[in-house]
Homo-oligomer: A and B are copies of this chain.
Amino acid sequence: MATGRTHRPATRSRGIPEATVARLPLYLRALTALSERSVPTVSSEELAAAAGVNSAKLRKDFSYLGSYGTRGVGYDVEYLVYQISRELGLTQDWPVVIVGIGNLGAALANYGGFASRGFRVAALIDADPQMAGKPVAGIPVQHTDELEKIIDDDGVSIGVIATPAGAAQQVCDRLVAAGVTSILNFAPTVLNVPEGVDVRKVDLSIELQILAFHEQRKAGEEAAADGVVPPAVARKQRPTDQGPDGDVPAVMPA
């Protein structure tokens, strides 16, 4: 027993449900677009459509932030942009370190959407000595040895891990020990962190597998009821499949 893992207090963030927090950036994005078009106000219905959610859900989400709407009119775009930005902590500047400047790390470093919302790349860090000093996206890569100093000097509290899976936990431990309390993990590993440290993961492989599951399901349903073809597509042929194997436990991927 005693998995030694984090207990999720989950939803108790001083009132605002976690699910709502996860949608606020979505609303903010839609609102920012409206703001750029100088649209003064939006109704919950319009904004919900733009954000791809149910309008009742959106209204309830906003109700957690306060009563910022005007009945019969809608929400003031600028005001709402400010309120959400403030709630998300985007009115301040968040220095971020990226660890592991390989294919993905470099892409992240080059990503413009980073800086656009108050996230500043404070440093790029890699263990490879040959990369030290080499500029990526205009920022010189620094060696892992400097990690603690950088985090301390810049007051970095958010770290991005883009190292191979094998190094991720180790890197994570160092980040946490140095003072980082929020981690965005791209490596396909479960990270162990002490209480109080937030970890979010982005896992391409998992996303694809979930898609594959549904894809297979669609194909299966279609085959099942040939009388009623579900609106999907009615695929002419299947992905690849029907190969000579198909039942052999050809599992054991790398």
CB proximity to B under 8 Å, residues A145-199 = 154-158, 179, 181-184, 188, 190, 192, 194-198
Is A131 among interface residues, defined by CB-CB distance under 8 A?
no
Is there an interface contact between A5 and B52, defined as CB atoms closer than 8 Å?
yes
A250 and B93 form a contact (CB under 8 A): yes
Contact of A93 among B91, B114, B158, B240 (CB under 8 A): B240
The minimal Cβ–Cβ distance linking A46 to chain B, given in whole angstroms, is 10
Tell me if A253 and B118 are in contact (CB < 8 A). yes
The answer to whether the Cβ of A49 comes within 8 Å of any Cβ in the partner chain is yes
A2-49 residues with Cβ-Cβ distance < 8 A to B are 3-5, 13-14, 21-22, 24-26, 28-30, 32, 35, 45, 48-49
Q: Cβ of A223 < 8 Å from any Cβ of B?
A: no
Judge whether A212 is part of the interface by a CB distance below 8 angstroms.
yes
A198 surroundings in chain B (CB, below 8 A): 211, 214-215
Complex contact A45–B1 (CB within 8 A): yes
Provided the pairs A238-B155, A241-B93, A250-B93 are in contact, do residues A200 and B190 lie with their beta carbons within 8 angstroms? Answer: no
Asked if residues B215 and A211 are in contact (CB atoms below 8 Å), the reply is no
State the CA gap A49–B3 with chains docked (Å). Answer: 5
Nearest-neighbor residue (CB-CB) of A190 within chain B: B52
Residues of B within 8 A of A194 (CB): 231
A21 touches B238 (CB 8 A): no
Interface residues of A in 87-118 (CB under 8 A from B): 87-96, 103-104, 106-108, 110-114, 116-118
Tell me if B204 and A202 are in contact (CB < 8 A). Answer: yes
Of the residues B13, B86, B122, B215, contact of A182 by C-beta under 8 Å:
B215
Complex Cα gap A169–B250 (Å):
35
Residues of the B chain whose Cβ atoms lie less than 8 Å from the Cβ of A86: 232, 251
Q: Which of B179, B236, B241 contacts A92 (CB 8 A)?
A: B241
Minimum Cβ distance to chain B for residue A172 (Å): 13
User: Could you say which of B5, B13, B103, B211 contacts A49, with CB atoms under 8 Å apart?
Assistant: B5
Interface residues of A (CB under 8 A from B): 1, 3-5, 13-14, 21-22, 24-26, 28-30, 32, 35, 45, 48-52, 55, 78, 81-82, 85-96, 103-104, 106-108, 110-114, 116-120, 122, 154-158, 179, 181-184, 188, 190, 192, 194-198, 200, 202-218, 230-233, 235-241, 243, 245-247, 249-254
